């Protein structure tokens, strides 16, 4: 059948593979014209960024590199390889070595032209041995002696160099006190320049820390320049560390004197005598003790100008240093005790507005840093007295009080984790009468991150101050004494009783803390420190505690001593068993009075009844018969709590517990060797 013209142009449908279709495929390949082979690009013999030098005719005639690019004949197997227009260049290793050697010689010649080049070379050679790790002390001391022999008499000449400064620091760090004092004496008169150097400032800090006999002389060289150094980029950290970490009372006074002005500096004795040291301990108050009104006014004006210069340059970081806080505290203490009330208010308002405005701007500018030392004074190192004096005179002014809390609020969590910064928070809780404002602003900032705060001693103190402020169980006498310094001023400015204010703050924090124990009480009681916080929460918070109590009791209701040998039962943990004993006896034991101080916010009888109901007979009996003394004492306190509770429900519970420990169980307890079995048997007899 002949196909039509239109059909002849159509491609036939594909057929199954076979002899006929394979033959047609081969015929089509033969009919297809052969295409030109694709031209392959030769490989580059050099980077595209390398400059090719033009070769001379002599080089072409020599033909030393001809073997590297041989012509390929037609029909050869490597017909794809093509000649390149440019010859391949090889890097001469010998020439590179010679160039490196010449560069090294030039470098040595330049170093030799510098002053003290031979001295530095010898010092570095010995320094490498003295600064090596894992060197025995005797051998290291030998190297230090050799190093001192090289640099002795030339320390002041080489110390400003960054590499030589490290050499001298090594001699100070690993040397004996003799070598340290020798270096400190040799650098006398140069400390003002050294502290402003990027490299030698570390040497000054080491000498201040390690050379106690030379420390006053070093700090005296800074007199007249303290304000400038505090605003200096390199020197400010050295002065801050010297004041906070190493200096004594007299040495701190040397750094503070520049704030008082030139008149005060000239009037003080600078010889280091006993008279000078006694005057230094009194600070600004001692300087103004016998001064007339004109002199007092001039000194306070100079002090205010000094503080103004620090606050106006808050970006320099000096506002965070304790030396500035010391001066600010002295200034506020003096101006608030002036006999003229109008003048006192004027001075305080000026410094308060200046400081608050500068810090508010600084807090906004450094919002991303989330500084942990933020507060109304610009840093967390504020002393408790300074924070108190800042709060107290402004209690009558709503706007000031509100502004202070507004500045504090974003930084409360980080302030809780700092020993000094948290004093600001404690002072606010002590003196502000508007507890609704506190509960709305500051208290939630403490109770919300409670999971983080409970991990550190500082954070736990912040939580506990909401419930039991100034208690000797959790606060040392020094902290209590520092906070108590504001009590006299608080009595003059506050209209609310102390116990009423504390109760209102405690009530505002109770709900969040009880919810936290209800959620994580089973985990918290296993941590020694966290269990102390849980005990205070259960004893002193206000509100419904049933949910938190059930969480704690379910944690001990498991099989005793436990199916898993790797997990200790809570009753066998000393701190956990102490927690249950405290809750069952209704408060903490007072060793002075030899009795229990019961909490009015806690019902130990209700907790004992829940204990019997939730924990059950099997676990309670096992605590006394198969466990140690911890369970015995806990059950003894359980019986005591049921005896002291006189309601009808407790009477039924007493009969139940007495039935548990009668007969064979009692004989087992009597036959056992538990430490508290006598106490337990006596308590059972009283049921």
Stretches where the chain sits below pLDDT 50 are 1-19, 35, 38, 40, 48-49, 51-84, 269-270, 360-398
pLDDT of 99 reads 83
Residue 597 is inside which H or E element, if any?
Answer: strand 595-598
pLDDT of 358 reads 54
CB atoms within 10 A of CB 439: 17
Whether 311 contacts 241, CB under 8 Å: no
Pairing verdict, β 595-598 and 587-590: antiparallel
Q: How far apart are CA 553 and CA 611, in angstroms?
A: 6
pTM tops 0.75, yes or no:
no
pLDDT of 501 reads 94
Long-range contacts, 175-183 (Cβ 8 Å, 24+):
175/141, 175/144, 175/148, 176/141, 176/144, 177/210, 177/211, 179/144, 179/148, 180/207, 180/210, 180/211, 181/211, 181/213, 181/214, 182/148, 182/152, 183/155, 183/207
Peptide bond into 561 cis (omega under 30): yes
Domain boundaries, the chain: 114-221, 582-685
pLDDT in tens, 366-399: 332 323 222 333 322 333 333 444 444 443 444 5
pLDDT of 312 reads 86
pLDDT of 24 reads 58
pLDDT of 241 reads 93
pLDDT of 113 reads 63
Q: How far apart are CA 626 and CA 673, in angstroms?
A: 10
């Amino acid at each position: 059948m002949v196909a039509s013209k239109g059909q002849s142009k159509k491609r036939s449908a594909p057929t199954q593979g076979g002899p006929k279709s394979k033959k047609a495929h081969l015929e089509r390949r033969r009919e297809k014209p052969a295409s030109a082979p694709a031209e392959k690009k030769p490989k580059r013999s050099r980077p595209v960024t390398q400059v090719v030098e033009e070769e001379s005719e002599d080089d072409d005639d020599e033909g030393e590199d001809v073997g590297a690019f041989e012509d390929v004949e037609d029909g050869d197997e490597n017909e794809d390889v093509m000649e390149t227009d440019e010859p391949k260049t090889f890097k001469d290793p010998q020439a590179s070595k010679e160039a490196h050697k010449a560069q090294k010689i030039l470098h040595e010649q330049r170093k030799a032209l510098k002053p003290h080049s031979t001295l530095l070379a010898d010092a570095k050679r010995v320094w490498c041995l003295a600064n090596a790790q894992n060197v025995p002390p005797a051998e290291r001391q030998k190297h230090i002696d050799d190093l001192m022999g090289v640099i002795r008499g030339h320390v002041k000449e080489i110390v400003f160099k960054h590499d030589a400064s490290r050499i001298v620091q090594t001699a100070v760090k690993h040397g004996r006190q003799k070598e340290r004092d020798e270096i400190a004496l040799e650098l006398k008169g140069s400390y003002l320049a050294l502290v402003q150097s990027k490299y030698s400032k570390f040497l000054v800090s080491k000498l201040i820390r390690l050379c106690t006999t030379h420390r006053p002389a070093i700090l005296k060289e800074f007199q007249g320049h303290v304000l400038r150094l505090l605003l200096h980029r390199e020197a400010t950290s050295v002065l801050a560390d010297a004041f906070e970490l190493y200096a004594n009372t007299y040495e701190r006074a040397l750094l503070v004197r520049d704030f008082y002005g030139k008149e005060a500096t000239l009037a003080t004795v600078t010889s280091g005598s006993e008279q000078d040291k006694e005057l230094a301990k009194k600070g600004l108050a001692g300087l103004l003790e016998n001064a007339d009104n004109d002199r007092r006014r001039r000194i306070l004006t100079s002090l205010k100008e000094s503080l103004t210069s620090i606050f106006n340059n808050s970006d320099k970081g000096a506002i965070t240093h304790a030396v500035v806080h010391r001066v600010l505290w002295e200034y506020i203490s003096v101006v608030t005790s002036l006999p003229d009330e109008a003048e006192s208010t004027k001075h305080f308002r000026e410094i308060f507005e200046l400081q608050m405005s500068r810090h508010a701007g600084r807090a906004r500018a450094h919002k991303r840093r989330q500084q942990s030392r933020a507060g109304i004074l610009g840093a967390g190192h504020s002393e408790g007295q300074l924070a108190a004096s800042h709060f107290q005179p402004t209690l009558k002014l709503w706007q000031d009080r509100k502004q202070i809390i507004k500045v504090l609020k974003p930084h409360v969590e980080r302030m809780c984790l700092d020993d000094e910064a948290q004093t600001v928070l404690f002072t606010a809780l002590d003196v502000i009468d508007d507890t609704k404002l506190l509960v709305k602003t500051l208290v939630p900032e403490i109770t919300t991150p409670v999971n983080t705060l409970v991990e550190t001693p500082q954070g736990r103190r912040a939580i506990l101050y909401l419930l039991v402020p100034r208690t000797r169980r959790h606060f040392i006498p020094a902290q209590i004494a520092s906070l108590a310094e504001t009590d006299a001023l608080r009595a003059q400015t506050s209209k609310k009783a102390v116990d009423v204010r504390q109760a209102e703050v405690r009530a505002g924090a109770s709900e969040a803390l009880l919810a936290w124990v209800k959620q994580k009480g089973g985990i918290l009681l296993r941590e020694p420190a966290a269990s102390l916080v849980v005990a205070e929460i259960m004893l002193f918070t206000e509100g419904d505690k049933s949910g938190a109590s059930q969480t704690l009791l379910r944690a001990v209701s498991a099989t005793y001593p436990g199916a898993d040998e790797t997990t200790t039962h809570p009753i066998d943990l000393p701190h956990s068993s102490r927690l249950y004993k405290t809750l069952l006896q209704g408060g903490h034991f007072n060793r002075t009075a030899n009795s229990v101080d019961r909490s009015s916010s806690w019902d130990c009888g209700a907790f004992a009844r829940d204990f019997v109901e939730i924990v059950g007979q099997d676990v309670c009996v096992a605590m006394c018969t198969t466990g140690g003394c911890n369970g015995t004492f806990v059950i003894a306190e359980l019986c005591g709590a049921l005896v002291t509770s006189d309601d009808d429900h407790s009477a039924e519970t007493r009969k139940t517990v007495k039935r548990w420990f009668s007969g064979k169980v009692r004989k087992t307890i009597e036959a056992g060797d538990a430490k508290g079995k006598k106490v337990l048997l006596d308590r059972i007899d009283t049921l």
